[in-house]
Structure 1
Amino acid sequence: MARVIVAGLGPAGSDLMTGAVRDAIEQTSRRFIRTRRHPAAVAVEPAESFDDLYDQASSFEEVYRAIVDRLVAEARAGIGDVLYAVPGSPLVAERTVELLRAVPGLDLEVLVGLSFADLAWDRVGVDPLAAGVRLVDGRSFAVDAAGERGPLLVAQCDSAHVLSDIKLAALDAPDRSVAGRADEKVIVLQRLGLLDERVFEVVWAELDHAVVPDHLTSLYIAEMGAPIAREVARFADLAGELRRRCPWDQEQTHQSLRGHLLEETYEVLEALDAVDPDSLSGYEELEEELGDLLYQIVFHSVLAAEAGQFTLADVARGIHDKLKSRHPHVFGSSDSDHAAPDDASQVLVNWEAIKREQKGRASVMDGIPPGLPALLFADKVIHKARSVGVVPDVDTATVAGRLYDAVRDAQAAGLDAESELRAFANTIGDRIRACEISSL
């Protein structure tokens, strides 16, 4: 297998490229460049770019994996060294390099280049080590900046919707007024090292209106008014403190909390029934009940952490990764064997198939809790039957058959049989109470 040489083109024009990168370009004839949308791209020509992949792929991750597959295939052809040029430094925000490092047996050489961050430190006048600056990705700002107070250098702010998402996340400051936060300023850095370089301040409220972003736009945030996801972190800390200091919390186990978990779940269901999207009523009670249910989840995570098994972060990471793996049609998984869904029913079919593969289950029926209420159990069974193309032969002459058929009719109408029966029973209950009052 031939060698793949990754060369960093620096943050601006070819004048900021290193001598080692220049030499590698001159000495290598098989050249590739991630994108020609870079001021120093001309120095690599003639080269093949991967710009067309950005238009064809459904996600950046799909683009990066396709690039790596092509580079590895070229290297395995054994014709000669392969040069792969990337903007900035290969060691800063370059996902393709991460993927290349993970390829077994690949002979990889990385030639570092000047990063946009090196110029940014000079323009904002800070020592990143002394100031404790953290570099985050603008495309995933709400996650990457969670819990951070700053300073932050935000890279890849390359579109208006990215700036808008950053602004909305930053203005979500529960312990400060939104108005006060909106009037504070953030530093915008554009095209550093080029003749049309711009470094200026803009108030948060105008970030996605006053800035025309491009692929060489970044932000410097000296201080966040409140850390993103701060309330969740405070809540988790409180649950841990209660476990350490409250006699009742100290006595609890996973088993002793079962009844509380069930009770809080039913109270959430009751609150959901009271929500009216048209009048916007019921949401206050739903918010409270969801908080009570969340406490049960956090409490079980605290107990598991004590046992050395998992933490709340592991729970969040696990459900994140599971949902992502079960939605290949959304996240562009190139190795998925499942057909792209045309509608919601096909999504469910794929979901069940992927779930069986991941869980190693022999049947889609495996994993349905046998203790579910009968109507809910029937609802699950009907969904499972539909996912594998089974059409049950239902004898509606029996009570059980009529109940099963009623659940199926409710599904067809987009209704939940359990909730419908409960609501109907509550209506009868109201009539009983009215009759009782009238008889007094």
Structure 2
Amino acid sequence: MSLPRVHVIGLGPAGPDLVTAGAMQLIATIPRQFLRTERHPAAQVMPQAQWFDRLYESASSMPQVYQSICEALVSAACEEHDLAVQIGAVGEVLYAVPGSPVVAEHTVELLLSDPRVEVVIHPALSFLDLTWARLGVDPVELGVRLIDGHRFAVEAAGQRGPLLVGQCDNSFTLSDIKLSLDDPPSSPVVVLQRLGLPDEKIFSVDWSDLDREVIPDHLTSIWIPEFAAPVAAEFIKLQELLTRLRAEDPWKAEQTHDSLKRYLLEETYEVFEAIDSYDSESGSGATELCSELGDLLYQVVFHSAIASEAGWFTLSDVALAIHDKLLARHQALEQALGAQLGSADVAQVVALWESSKVQEQSRSSALDQIPAGLPALARALKVAKRATGIEGYVAPVDSAGLDFAELDFSELDFSELGTALLKLVDLAQERGFDPEEALRQATDQRIEQLRTVERAGSENP
């Protein structure tokens, strides 16, 4: 069965003279047309097209803009297809983007991954072709990396340059780029604007003046020949140090995932303790918390290094896995709640989050993959939380009315003690408490009380 079809063309980097003949033929033959933005010097070749500029003003984030554009295109293609199949044809729409469809076009990436439509990409001249000509460089020989200015901090991580930063379309983006580097380039960078147009500008600027001397627009990019140090240099240095220590330190060299388990647990509890001692208002304990988080991070890097040496995964894979996992779960929330996500009830969000985890992990039951090694209270609470996502589950009605006066503790057997503790966990779940944390704090208070008694006894023998 044929799918609705979306033809994607590029309008080139400048005026109508750089739009390809193939693109002009498609413009002449496909009636229903869309432009990602009217703000392009070649937009005049599509006077009948619908623009998506309004979404840039109404959406709360750039990912939401791209997703909304994709949904609108798919919807339009499906509408055209419903009409076309009646005469045995395929419904088509035309979508035009600035430059080339295959260079830094996130809407095209979304379309290509959408199973509801067939996407046909047509080649076009990119702003990159003009850039290399103006700079007089061979990007292949230099190993140039193209970076999206809106995602500079992430995409430039670990890079030394040279980099070409596109999508530098507003002052906020330039400020974010400038402030993302602790050790900025010592030499000026090159700003390229409106290449191929009569008002083309190419000039150098110091890094500190990037958001002060540059008036950005949608045809602005930045050429960074070299960094003083790699972006996210501290993280890279930690990886390199551990690689060296694994080679030179016999103890570190012989460690395995199993041998490191106890250290991972110890460091986790030390982070717990540091958090308890941290005051977010005064900042007291911040240095200790920072140090303990570093120790915990070291364990993650260590495990990743062991896996990398075995050829299974790297630290980058670990970061990418959690990034993709969080993004997929958040997209499931956006799909379920739409514009109500920001004002949704927390319990509703948690239930949807748990549901997405069930689908993601291919669990046959909501109770699968609850670690048996969890502390008993934490495990019981996790069961109670998972239970809220089970269709037909009814919370225990007697937990809120738990009356310890009715319990005969002198006759309480092992099983009854477990039942009483479980009822307390149900009560904690209903009221949003963490029973593990409550017991920890109560134990800390008892320790202080006992220390007071102990000190009093030593002072009065």
User: What are the equivalent positions in structure 2 for 1:72-221 lying under 5 Å apart?
Assistant: 72-73=77-78, 76=81, 77=84, 78=89, 82-102=93-113, 109-169=120-180, 171-173=181-183, 181=184, 184-221=187-224
Using the alignment, how far apart are the partners of 1:223 and 1:154 within structure 2? 13
Is 1:396–2:403 an aligned residue pair? yes
Deviations 1:398-434 (A, max 9, x none): 4635854774587459993144224313422542453
Using the alignment, how far apart are the partners of 2:114 and 2:350 within structure 1? 34
Which residue identity is paired with 1:9?
Answer: L
- Give 3-state SS (helix, strand or coil) of 1:416's partner: helix
Match of 1:427 among 448, 452, 456: 448
| Identity, % of aligned positions | 47
- Give 3-state SS (helix, strand or coil) of 1:224's partner: coil
Relative to structure 1, is the Cα distance of residues 101 and 277 closer, same or farther in structure 2, using a 3 angstrom cutoff?
A: closer
Residue 177 of structure 1 corresponds to: none
Deviation (angstroms), 1:137: 0.7
Relative to structure 1, is the Cα distance of residues 72 and 380 closer, same or farther in structure 2, using a 3 angstrom cutoff?
A: same
Unaligned runs of 5+ in 2: 408-416
Which of structure 1's runs of 4+ aligned residues deviate more than 6 A? 103-107, 335-339
- Give 3-state SS (helix, strand or coil) of 1:10's partner: coil
Deviation (angstroms), 1:135: 0.9
Match of 1:65 among 52, 67, 70: 70
C-alpha contact (below 8 Å) 1:406/1:417 kept by paired residues: no
User: What are the equivalent positions in structure 2 for 1:289-438 lying under 5 Å apart?
Assistant: 289-328=292-331, 332=334, 334=335, 340=341, 342-386=344-388, 390-392=394-396, 393-394=398-399, 395-397=402-404, 398=407, 400=420, 403-404=424-425, 407=428, 411=432, 416-432=437-453, 434-435=455-456, 437-438=458-459
Using the alignment, how far apart are the partners of 1:422 and 1:228 within structure 2? 45
Deviations 1:32-55 (A, max 9, x none): 322212111111222233334445
C-alpha contact (below 8 Å) 1:328/1:336 kept by paired residues: no
- TM-score, normalisation: structure 2: 0.81
Between stretches 11-20 and 261-270, larger displacement belongs to 11-20
- Give 3-state SS (helix, strand or coil) of 2:231's partner: coil
Which residue identity is paired with 2:403?
Answer: T
Using the alignment, how far apart are the partners of 1:27 and 1:265 within structure 2? 63
Relative to structure 1, is the Cα distance of residues 74 and 129 closer, same or farther in structure 2, using a 3 angstrom cutoff?
A: farther
Relative to structure 1, is the Cα distance of residues 107 and 386 closer, same or farther in structure 2, using a 3 angstrom cutoff?
A: closer
Residue 176 of structure 1 corresponds to: none
Match of 1:39 among 34, 38, 41: 41
Between stretches 387-396 and 419-428, larger displacement belongs to 387-396
Using the alignment, how far apart are the partners of 1:233 and 1:130 within structure 2? 24
- RMSD after superposition: 3.4
C-alpha contact (below 8 Å) 1:411/1:417 kept by paired residues: no
Unaligned runs of 5+ in 1: 174-180
C-alpha contact (below 8 Å) 1:4/1:71 kept by paired residues: no
Deviation (angstroms), 1:152: 0.8
Relative to structure 1, is the Cα distance of residues 412 and 418 closer, same or farther in structure 2, using a 3 angstrom cutoff?
A: closer
Using the alignment, how far apart are the partners of 1:193 and 1:315 within structure 2? 42
C-alpha contact (below 8 Å) 2:185/2:228 kept by paired residues: no
Deviation (angstroms), 1:70: 3.9
Between stretches 134-143 and 383-392, larger displacement belongs to 383-392
Residue 9 of structure 1 corresponds to: 11
Between stretches 61-70 and 84-93, larger displacement belongs to 61-70
- TM-score, normalisation: structure 1: 0.84
Between stretches 133-142 and 25-34, larger displacement belongs to 25-34
C-alpha contact (below 8 Å) 1:4/1:75 kept by paired residues: no
Which residue identity is paired with 1:290?
Answer: L
Using the alignment, how far apart are the partners of 1:387 and 1:28 within structure 2? 48
Is 1:245–2:248 an aligned residue pair? yes
C-alpha contact (below 8 Å) 1:338/1:350 kept by paired residues: no
Deviation (angstroms), 1:229: 2.2
C-alpha contact (below 8 Å) 1:38/1:87 kept by paired residues: yes
Deviations 1:134-192 (A, max 9, x none): 111111111111111111111111223222221121x223xxxxxxx487533222222
Using the alignment, how far apart are the partners of 2:370 and 2:304 within structure 1? 23
Using the alignment, how far apart are the partners of 1:113 and 1:65 within structure 2? 20
- Give 3-state SS (helix, strand or coil) of 2:222's partner: strand
